[in-house]
Amino acid sequence: MSWIEELYRTYDYCSNVDDGPTPPYHMRNNTHIEIRIDGNGNFIGAKLDKLKNTIIPCTEKSEAARTMNPPAHPLCDKIQFVAGDYKGSKTSYFDKYIQILEQWSESEFSHPMVKAIYTYTQKRCLIEDLRLYEGNILSIDEDPADLFVRWCVEIPGENETRTWKCKSLYKSWQDFYEGQESLKGLCMVRGEKMVLALNHPKRIRHGGDGAKLISSNDKSGFTFRGRFTTNEVLIDGKKSEIAIQSATISAEVSQKVHRVLGWLIEKQSYRNGDQVIVSWSVTGEEKPNEFSDTNTLFGDSDEEKIAELNTHSPHDAGQTFAQKLSKKIAGYRASLTDAKKIVVMGLDSANQGRISITYYRELAGSEFLDRVEKWHSDMAWHFYEFIQDPKEKKKKHSGHIVYAPAPRVIAESCFGKRLDDKLKKSTTERLLPCIIDGRQVPEDLVNMAIKRASNKIGIDHWEWERTLSVACALYSCQLIRKNNNNKIQKIMALEKQRTDRDYLFGRLLAVAEHLEEIALNVAKEPRETTAARLMQRFADFPYSTWRTIESSLVPYKSRLNANRPGFLVNMKNLMDEIHTMFLPGDFENDNRLSGAYLLGYHCQRFELKAKKTIEEVTTINS
């Protein structure tokens, strides 16, 4: 019941914010016509008011999809419901509308606005008034059946004339509707004897969602047999048996919980088909989105991103990013203290009738921020980006930016862009504990990303660049979390003194690829390098494959010796330097490489590309 209690508390904190959750037994609907009457039920005027999101009272049945024999909303509805003089091509449902409006108007929970609207609609003159009104609301040959009506009631002494903004009217309908329920009992959330909810709302994740989080009306199956008794109650005036001991929750609590959950899902959730993951601060404070990449978390403009990628250095080991991340998280810490609670909730459904809670955590505000900061810090890596110039539409800037990728990007990098929803859903569910609980990243995801990053010629270049960065991010995150007790420092720059075999082989591959790329550019031959074509084989058999790659460089070295002798000498010296750093026996070891080779490859490649750019700029300026 914890999630119900936290959502109930959240409703109380957020109900008064602008565009907050709808009141109990209310829904939002687009309207077309706004009608003004006085407190005595006399027509004053009207205006077209298309597609305005209006809060209207509703019943459980009228809130559901209305198709065959639709029930009426109790106050605001289509003209075929509210107009007693409607005689168009569609069926009139005025009798249903006026019946529920009369019951409300004459009850002990009535409201002056309700009485005025009831008095006016009884006259059965709505369409006539609209056609005669000087605003030309309706033409004579128009069928207005589907036009949705909302009301303004001008009562002397009352400042609020809009029914969709009147809080006392909200309360009036809530009290009346709850009074229709016949069963009272102990509400397990409030700890009081209240009117119990016999049915709980649908439409939680979206308007057409028919699945429920709470349902206890299975009388014919085996759900409650031998566990609960059944109670005979009146539902819509008819006797019915329903099991209530499984979830004795008051109607008010149920309504508020489902309203605020739907509002949170619409406002700030991660969605993938039927899967929804939503997190929120119970007391309404702003929090970072744990499913966004760090770029989105920072909220930088395009100009700021362009400035960063134009100045980002391969020698930056992550200090700049860490400082920026720490500063951003510190902004949230001012309000999200230990006393504030963050809830993370995952929802999914295997069929159309039931929603399951697949993940649930409650954390202190500072703890949540620590986890989010750690995820972004552990997963950060250099990503090659193209950014559209905001001033020149035909111009794009390219370069590296440090950030942690979003789970969606990780899933696509591990399995390809065409992965199905089921695989994307399961990957997201597996990454969620890594973000919120600080758990180790799944081994198979790391291996899959490394495998795809090693297949350079098997995927598009842009996709491969991103996959390479994701693989480096996952592998470095895995290393940090495996050695958490030793507090290994994350380094994103080239480690020139690092002597482990896999890292050095990665560096060699980057140098060989760069050398051949320059030689091909000199000869204007646009094709893949030998290093790129043999990258997958190199990852499996580095020593034997390196001998093939090295021998293939001979003709390119001859070409460069004639055209770029200085560059060739630098590359030879760099290869020799890397060779000398292998420990005895490591270079001849032909065992498969770990993901560390991609770290060495990426960092060495980044530095060589940056050096080449500087040399080109220097040549142009001279």
| Segment 562-594, tens digit of pLDDT | 989 999 999 999 999 999 999 999 999 999 999
pLDDT score, position 61:
81
**Are both 469 and 513 inside the same structural domain?**
no
Relative to beta strand 43-57, strand 149-154 is unpaired
**Are both 517 and 444 inside the same structural domain?**
no
**Are both 520 and 429 inside the same structural domain?**
no
Domain span holding position 254: 181-267
Residue 347 lies in a domain: no
* Region for residue 166 given its phi and psi (left: phi exceeds 0; alpha: psi -120 to 50; beta: otherwise): beta
Picking from 444, 463, 493, the residue at the C-terminal end of a domain is 493
Low-confidence residues of the chain: pLDDT under 70: 1, 64-65, 135, 181-182, 216-247, 485-488, 611-622
| Segment 81-86 long-range contacts (CB within 8 Å, at least 24 positions apart) | 82/121, 82/126, 82/149, 83/121, 83/124, 83/126, 83/127, 83/144, 84/121, 84/122, 84/123, 84/124, 84/125, 84/126, 85/124, 85/125, 85/126, 85/127, 85/128, 86/126, 86/127, 86/144, 86/145
pLDDT score, position 398:
85
Residue 6 lies in a domain: no
The percent of the chain in helix, strand and coil, each rounded to the nearest 5, is 45, 15, 35
**Are both 129 and 145 inside the same structural domain?**
yes
Instruction: Judge contact between 290 and 376, C-beta under 8 A.
Output: no
Picking from 177, 198, 217, the residue at the C-terminal end of a domain is 177
**Are both 209 and 297 inside the same structural domain?**
no
pLDDT score, position 194:
87
**Are both 412 and 544 inside the same structural domain?**
no
Cα(106)–Cα(114) distance, integer angstroms: 9
**Are both 186 and 143 inside the same structural domain?**
no
Residue 187 lies in a domain: yes
Residue 339 lies in a domain: no
**Are both 445 and 501 inside the same structural domain?**
no
**Are both 534 and 593 inside the same structural domain?**
yes
**Are both 232 and 136 inside the same structural domain?**
no
Residue 489 lies in a domain: yes
Domain count, the chain: 4
Say what percent of the chain tops pLDDT 90: 59
pLDDT score, position 309:
83
**Are both 318 and 433 inside the same structural domain?**
yes
Quick one: how far is CA 458 from the chain centroid? Answer: 30
Residue 281 lies in a domain: no
Picking from 177, 209, 233, the residue at the C-terminal end of a domain is 177
DSSP state of 45: E
Residue 435 lies in a domain: yes
**Are both 186 and 207 inside the same structural domain?**
yes
Residue 295 lies in a domain: yes
40-94 per-position pLDDT tens digit = 999 999 998 777 789 999 987 888 667 778 999 999 999 999 999 999 889 999 9
